[in-house]
């Protein structure tokens, strides 16, 4: 009898354990690693060559490479090499570089498509994190995919939540990136 | 003896179970989620600004941004923001937008490299799906990778099979996308 | 007593087994599949149209599409369709094509951001492998992510280690790619 009671209880606790391991609601997943970083983008506008960290390199017909295109910049591709910092200060010591591109890709609002990487090189982290996703810029927080990583982020996957922490016109913006890894190795 | 027979049988069934869980043939895997969607691309050709959903934004030397490049459009990059529909009708109510870019990348046939996302916003699905892959356009069905997702597609991975459902010259094409997720969360 | 000793030992060996299954050091993971391939890139420079396998298609303001941009080519995007070979000989029979783009993305050194695929079509392998990552070109070996695959590489993930095996000025380079898959299906 005692054995039977034990196994019923065991089954019950296994069921509980499974419920929390495979929840329906994604918010119930607990990240295996968590990072919050900032990066800073200064786009070249014809006058700021020394400070610019990004440049428009492609534009639709009729537009040029120093002024973002009309119609919500649709068709512009910018290449960037932005400093990554631990806090929101552009002048803090960088812990790495955010490198890749963003593409403005809607004609009637501001959205972009992101393909980029974090190359981290600090005492805490050495390695790269690779991101892909859509960024509906005007929404407060946007989720993109962490599709892989190397070094300390070997084979990691996760979700990065992006938040425009500050901006100045079209020239400067600062993104806060909250990276939650759900697959660590 | 009876115990021995049981354990032999058990071993046999375990073997069967393993065979179906880790089959050699990929077609034996069963998707954990399955979606079929269509998207519609109308490329800007200098005359259709109001209706165009895509634009050539980069071209090799000697080509321009209103006519696709010679040599199988090699080197053209197009940015798109295409409506996604549940059926093959361009005028059906969109359930989201396909956003990103395609790159024509062969000199002696039509192929493209795809980096794009589905941003879905319907009663059935809220979230994004991120795709990467080669698209040998002239082949009937082409497989690309689903490398991540957000929202209802949190951390999902899978395979998308693309099929050119219809096209009109170089200006309009409609793609049917059969998305099979093999990793769901 | 004997039973207790056994279970203590069992626990000890389980601990050892777990230690090797989830090691801290990534180098302890053993790939489930391993491939070494070469690809060859000849960039168009205005004179080599017949042989070129890549073309500059985007450039920052002031630069053009036949000469890589000043400032470490920052902002150039090149589209490529490069032959893949089993050895380091450009003239060996190709086993597939490396297709996609590279973006030069640093103003004060040579680095690039890669988004490309291997489309393999040989007796040994049929399928595609999709890559994303940062490539600090001047470092001897660089790791990027294998974010997905199709066909024989269905749902695979892994790490590709890139090594510049040879180069001639800015026109030709040959990359050795050591692909280790850690997730096979």
pLDDT tens figures, A151-170: 999 999 999 999 999 999 88
CATH 1.10.3470 fits B37-183, yes or no: no
Length of chain B measured in residues: 185
Chain B residues with CB-CB distance to C101 below 8 A: 77, 103, 105, 113
Q: Are A61 and B65 an interchain contact pair (Cβ–Cβ within 8 Å)?
A: yes
| pLDDT above 50 for B106 | yes
The answer to whether residues B86 and A102 touch, using CB atoms and an 8 Å cutoff, is no
Q: Which residue of B has its CA nearest to C79?
A: B75
pLDDT digits (tens, 9 = 90+) for A1-44: 455 555 545 444 444 444 443 434 456 799 999 999 999 999 99
pLDDT digits (tens, 9 = 90+) for A105-150: 999 999 999 999 999 999 999 999 999 999 999 999 999 999 999 9
Please state, as a whole number, how many other Cβ atoms lie within 10 Å of the Cβ of residue C105.
30
CA distance C100 to chain B (A): 6
- The span from the CA of B79 to the CA of A137, in Å, is 17
- The span from the CA of A184 to the CA of A33, in Å, is 7
How confident is the model at residue A18, as a pLDDT?
42
Say what the pTM is. Answer: 0.87
How confident is the model at residue C17, as a pLDDT?
42
- The span from the CA of A79 to the CA of A58, in Å, is 9
**Three-class SS of C50-104:** CCCCEEEEECCCCCCCCCCCCCCCCCCEEEEEEEEECCCCCCCCCCEEEEEEEEE
Least confident of B40-44, B144-148, C21-25: C21-25
Q: Which residues contact C52 (CB under 8 A, 6 or more apart)?
A: C42, C43, C44, C45
Q: Are A149 and C145 an interchain contact pair (Cβ–Cβ within 8 Å)?
A: yes
- Residue ranges in chain C whose pLDDT is less than 50: 1, 8, 10-25
- The span from the CA of B135 to the CA of C184, in Å, is 22
pLDDT digits (tens, 9 = 90+) for A59-96: 999 999 999 998 899 999 999 999 999 999 999 999 99
- The span from the CA of C180 to the CA of C185, in Å, is 14
The answer to whether residues C156 and C145 touch, using CB atoms and an 8 Å cutoff, is no
Beta-carbon contacts below 8 Å between B and C: 106
Helix (H) or strand (E) holding B164: strand B157-168
**What residue ranges do the domains of chain B occupy?**
37-183
Higher pLDDT among residues A13 and B145, named by residue: B145
How confident is the model at residue C137, as a pLDDT?
93
CA distance C46 to chain B (A): 8
Chain A residues with CB-CB distance to B99 below 8 A: 105-106, 111, 113, 134
How confident is the model at residue A28, as a pLDDT?
77
């Amino acid at each position: 009898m005692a054995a039977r009671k034990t196994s019923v209880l065991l089954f019950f606790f296994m069921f509980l354990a499974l419920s929390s391991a495979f929840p329906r609601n994604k918010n119930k997943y607990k990240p295996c690693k968590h990072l919050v970083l900032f990066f800073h983008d200064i786009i070249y506008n014809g006058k700021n060559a020394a400070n610019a960290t990004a440049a428009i390199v492609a534009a639709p017909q009729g537009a040029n490479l120093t002024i973002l295109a009309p119609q919500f910049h649709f068709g512009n591709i910018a290449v960037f090499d932005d400093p990554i910092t631990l806090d929101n200060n552009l002048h803090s010591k960088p812990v790495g570089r955010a490198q890749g591109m963003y593409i403005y890709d809607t004609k009637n609002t501001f959205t972009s498509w992101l393909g980029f990487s974090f190359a981290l090189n600090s005492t805490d982290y050495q390695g790269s994190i690779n991101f892909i996703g859509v960024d509906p810029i005007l929404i407060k927080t946007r989720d993109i995919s962490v599709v892989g990583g190397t070094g300390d982020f070997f084979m990691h996957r996760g979700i990065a939540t992006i938040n425009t922490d500050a901006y100045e016109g079209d020239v400067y913006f600062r993104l806060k990136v909250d990276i939650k890894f759900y697959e660590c190795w």
